[in-house]
């Protein structure tokens, strides 16, 4: 039984169903996909479009998630390269770091050579001890050295120029749905390693050429169906309780109860907390899991506004731009230059389809978040100021995990103290360095592997980026001389 039909739940279900395990996925919402979910939406002009929780970048080092997608799409035809990926700001020129050599240390040297934000002052003026911590990621040591301070404090002490800090690090930290003041510095260093310094695939990423419903979820549902798995939507699980014979009873809001020997809890962090709160027997059987789940914190809500404009933006605008230095706007995606259904709508109407994101949004509602993001965009892309917006879909939602200082070693792990119950999701503490969608997929596969291990079957291989930073050996040698 897999509770939760997002990336983590589907990744577990795919591996288990392939090995002949009888799998049922139970998803609370009417559509699967969780935060990558997508659903049909009719525009006022009658056009049928699919809208989503938001644009997603499919990085090339997402080996596990891509391997799951390949099950239903062997050549990954659904993905296309997004091309340049600039960071844009009102105060400084755009900066595009794609196309750097993929492998460290060349990527790092090229970053210093190419990035106008990193000057000689950054090289000579940075706190050397902390700069080495950044380059010398080591899972246990980085956690011990940096988990008690925030990413913002780390960046303050690193003493980079304001430009380097804003252009290279602030945008990066916020893309984890975290205000840098509320994010662990250890998590920032781990993610910097995973996405940049330790990433052998380079900074480029791909994105689906069509909507996620048709490009990802329907093919995966068909794949699971072909292997005897069942996907039930619209069924919120309210409790999981132990029953005789080392089995678990999964109780839905409707009152339906299903029993299973193995359960994978692949919910979002808020959903998992709610489920544990309603599951007395599970809490009693797994006090350690209950403590770890109770300690989970949620990030600020994220705002996503899809806008159908009456005109196009300037021809040179990138498909995806990260925005930094603004209060609310964190990214803008030109959907009509990326996704086929949006491109068809734009070609027919002469308009454009933009999606604006705010990853840690402090506005009180979706309408005000949209207004704020539009005003900020108008300063960056003046051609959008006079554009009419005949239609928009906007959302302000919580649900992403927070990674506050002091939490490493205390978040839920895949296997806990309840035999037969595993946890998967993008908040789970993994033995391997991975982030966001890849963390979800990897935790799902590791949960499936634990089921397979209990049944005496071989594990599904899991690939990852190198698990140590380039200078991981140096930080130990230099720690004593560090000012930190
Ligand atoms: C706007 C936005 C942009 C993003 N951009 C990127 C990006 O560019 N790159 C990237 O890698 N990641 C990105 N992410 C993050 C990514 O979406 C998540 O990391 C990932 O989708 C999480 O998957 P999951 O399966 O762990 O959790 P979820 O997707 O949250 O799935 C959990 C599922 O459990 C279900 N559930 C909850 N409670 C219950 C219950 N009681 N009973 C049954 N079901 C329940 C939920 O409905 C949900 O479907 C983005 C997220 C958002 C919101």
Summarised one tens digit per residue, pLDDT across range 277-292 is 999 999 999 999 999 9
Element (H, E) at 187: helix 185-192
Local structure of 456: helix, strand or coil: coil
Q: What mean pLDDT do residues 51-62 have?
A: 94
Q: Count other Cβ atoms within 10 Å, centred on residue 464.
A: 17
> Cβ(375)–Cβ(384) under 8 Å?
no
Summarised one tens digit per residue, pLDDT across range 103-159 is 666 666 676 666 777 666 666 666 777 778 888 899 999 999 999 999 999 988 888
Best residue among 5, 6, 322, 393 to mutate for probing ligand 1, ranked by most atoms within 8 Å of CB: 6
Q: Take residue 281 and report the two structure tokens written for it.
A: 């027997």
Q: Report strand pairing: 331-334 vs 320-323.
A: antiparallel
Summarised one tens digit per residue, pLDDT across range 183-211 is 999 999 999 999 988 888 887 899 999 99
Q: What mean pLDDT do residues 57-66 have?
A: 97
Q: What mean pLDDT do residues 24-35 have?
A: 98
pLDDT at residue 350 above 70? Answer: yes
What integer pLDDT is reported at residue 460 of this predicted model?
Answer: 97
What integer pLDDT is reported at residue 120 of this predicted model?
Answer: 61
For the CA of 237, the nearest atom of ligand 1: 42
Question: How close is the Cα of 465 to the center of ligand 1, in Å?
Answer: 22
Q: Whose CA is nearest to atom 30 of ligand 1?
A: 268
What integer pLDDT is reported at residue 484 of this predicted model?
Answer: 32
pLDDT at residue 45 above 80? Answer: yes
What integer pLDDT is reported at residue 128 of this predicted model?
Answer: 73
> Cβ(429)–Cβ(413) under 8 Å?
yes
Q: What mean pLDDT do residues 351-375 have?
A: 96
* Helix 151-158 and helix 128-135, axial crossing angle in degrees, nearest 10: 130
pLDDT at residue 26 above 50? Answer: yes
Question: How close is the Cα of 484 to the center of ligand 1, in Å?
Answer: 36
The model's confidence at residue 177, banded by pLDDT at 50, 70 and 90, is: confident
Local structure of 39: helix, strand or coil: strand
| Average pLDDT in the chain | 91
What integer pLDDT is reported at residue 437 of this predicted model?
Answer: 98
What integer pLDDT is reported at residue 65 of this predicted model?
Answer: 98
Q: Report strand pairing: 352-358 vs 302-309.
A: antiparallel
What integer pLDDT is reported at residue 481 of this predicted model?
Answer: 35
Q: Take residue 173 and report the two structure tokens written for it.
A: 């930290």
Q: How would you label 401-413 residue by residue, b for 16+ Cβ within 10 Å and e otherwise? A: bbbbbebbeebbb
> Cβ(65)–Cβ(437) under 8 Å?
yes
pLDDT at residue 480 above 60? Answer: no
> Cβ(224)–Cβ(217) under 8 Å?
no
For the CA of 426, the nearest atom of ligand 1: 26
CA gyration radius, the chain: 22
Which residues lie with the beta carbon below 6 Å from any ligand 1 atom? 3-9, 26-29, 34-36, 53-54, 56-57, 236-237, 266-268, 271, 275, 302, 304, 357, 399, 425-426, 436-437, 440
CA distance 334 to 323: 13
Question: How close is the Cα of 121 to the center of ligand 1, in Å?
Answer: 40
337: which DSSP letter?
Answer: G
> Cβ(333)–Cβ(98) under 8 Å?
no
Beta bridge partners of 180: none
What integer pLDDT is reported at residue 130 of this predicted model?
Answer: 79
Residues in the chain: 484
Q: Whose CA is nearest to atom 2 of ligand 1?
A: 54
Lateral strand order in the sheet of 230-232: 230-232, 24-26, 2-3, 263-265, 421-423
Q: Is the bond into 50 cis (omega within 30 degrees of 0)?
A: no
What integer pLDDT is reported at residue 477 of this predicted model?
Answer: 41
What integer pLDDT is reported at residue 104 of this predicted model?
Answer: 63
pLDDT at residue 354 above 80? Answer: yes
Q: Whose CA is nearest to atom 16 of ligand 1?
A: 437
The model's confidence at residue 474, banded by pLDDT at 50, 70 and 90, is: low
Burial class (CB in 10 A: 0-12, 13-18, 19+), 48: exposed
Write out the E strands in 235-337: 237-243, 247-252, 257-260, 263-265, 302-309, 320-323, 331-334
pLDDT at residue 215 above 70? Answer: yes
Torsion of CA 332, 336, 341, 344, to 10 degrees: 160
> Cβ(205)–Cβ(59) under 8 Å?
yes
Q: What mean pLDDT do residues 305-309 have?
A: 98
What integer pLDDT is reported at residue 164 of this predicted model?
Answer: 82
- Closest by CA to 231, choosing from 27, 472, 444, is 27
Distance between alpha carbon 442 and the CA centroid of its chain, in Å?
12
Summarised one tens digit per residue, pLDDT across range 315-338 is 999 999 999 999 999 999 999 999
Q: Which residue has the higher pLDDT, 102 or 156?
A: 156
Q: Which residues contact 332 (CB under 8 A, 6 or more apart)?
A: 320, 321, 323, 354, 355, 356, 357, 377, 381
Summarised one tens digit per residue, pLDDT across range 231-268 is 999 999 999 999 998 999 999 999 999 999 999 999 99
Instruction: Give, rounded to a whole angstrom, the gap between the first and last alpha carbons of the chain.
Output: 48
> Cβ(132)–Cβ(482) under 8 Å?
yes
Question: How close is the Cα of 58 to the center of ligand 1, in Å?
Answer: 14
CA distance 151 to 327: 18
Q: Whose CA is nearest to atom 35 of ligand 1?
A: 4
- For a pLDDT cut of 90, what percent of the chain falls above it? 76
Question: How close is the Cα of 157 to the center of ligand 1, in Å?
Answer: 33
What integer pLDDT is reported at residue 127 of this predicted model?
Answer: 73
């Amino acid at each position: 039984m897999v509770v939760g039909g997002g990336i983590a739940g589907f990744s577990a279900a795919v591996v288990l169903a392939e090995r002949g395990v009888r799998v049922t996925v139970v998803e609370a919402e009417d559509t699967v996909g969780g935060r990558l979910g997508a659903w049909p939406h009719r525009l006022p002009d009658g056009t049928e479009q699919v809208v989503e929780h938001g644009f997603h970048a499919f990085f090339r080092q997402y080996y596990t998630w891509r391997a799951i997608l390949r099950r239903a799409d062997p050549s990954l035809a659904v993905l296309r390269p997004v091309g340049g990926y600039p960071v844009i700001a009102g105060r400084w020129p755009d900066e595009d770091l794609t196309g750097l050599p993929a492998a460290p240390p060349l990527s790092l040297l090229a970053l210093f050579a190419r990035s106008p934000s990193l000057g000689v002052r950054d090289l000579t003026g940075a706190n050397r001890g902390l700069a080495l911590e950044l380059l010398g990621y080591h899972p246990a040591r980085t956690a011990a050295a940096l988990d008690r301070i925030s990413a913002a404090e780390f960046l303050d002490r690193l003493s980079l120029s304001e430009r380097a800090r804003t252009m290279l690090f602030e945008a990066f930290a916020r893309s984890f749905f975290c205000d840098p003041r509320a994010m662990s510095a250890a998590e920032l260093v781990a993610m910097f390693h995973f996405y940049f310094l330790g990433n052998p695939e380079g900074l480029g990423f791909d994105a689906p050429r069509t909507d996620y419903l048709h490009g990802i979820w329907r093919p995966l549902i068909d794949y699971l169906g072909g292997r005897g798995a069942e996907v039930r939507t619209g069924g919120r699980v309210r409790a999981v309780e132990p029953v005789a014979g080392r089995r678990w009873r999964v109780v839905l809001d409707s009152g339906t109860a299903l029993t299973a020997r193995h359960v994978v809890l692949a919910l979002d962090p808020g959903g998992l907390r709610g489920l544990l709160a309603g599951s007395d027997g599970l809490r009693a059987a797994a006090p350690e899991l209950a403590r770890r789940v109770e300690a989970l914190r949620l990030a600020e809500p994220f705002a996503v506004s899809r806008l159908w404009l009456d005109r196009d933006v300037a021809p040179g605008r990138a498909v995806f731009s990260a925005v930094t230095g603004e209060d609310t706007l964190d990214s803008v995606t030109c959907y009509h230059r990326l996704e086929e259904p949006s491109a068809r709508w734009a070609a027919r109407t002469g308009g454009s389809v933009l999606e604006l994101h705010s990853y840690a949004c402090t506005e009180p509602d979706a309408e005000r978040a949209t207004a704020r993001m539009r005003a900020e965009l108008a300063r960056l892309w003046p051609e959008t100021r006079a554009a009419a917006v005949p239609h928009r879909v906007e959302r302000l939602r919580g649900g992403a995990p927070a990674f506050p200082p002091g939490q490493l070693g205390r978040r839920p792990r895949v296997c806990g103290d309840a035999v037969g119950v595993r946890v998967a999701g993008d908040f789970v503490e993994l033995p391997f360095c991975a982030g966001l969608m890849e963390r979800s997929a990897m935790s799902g596969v590791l949960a499936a592997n634990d089921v397979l291990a209990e049944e005496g079957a071989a594990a599904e291989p899991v690939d990852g980026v190198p698990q140590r930073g380039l200078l991981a050996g140096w930080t130990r040698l230099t720690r004593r001389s560090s000012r930190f």
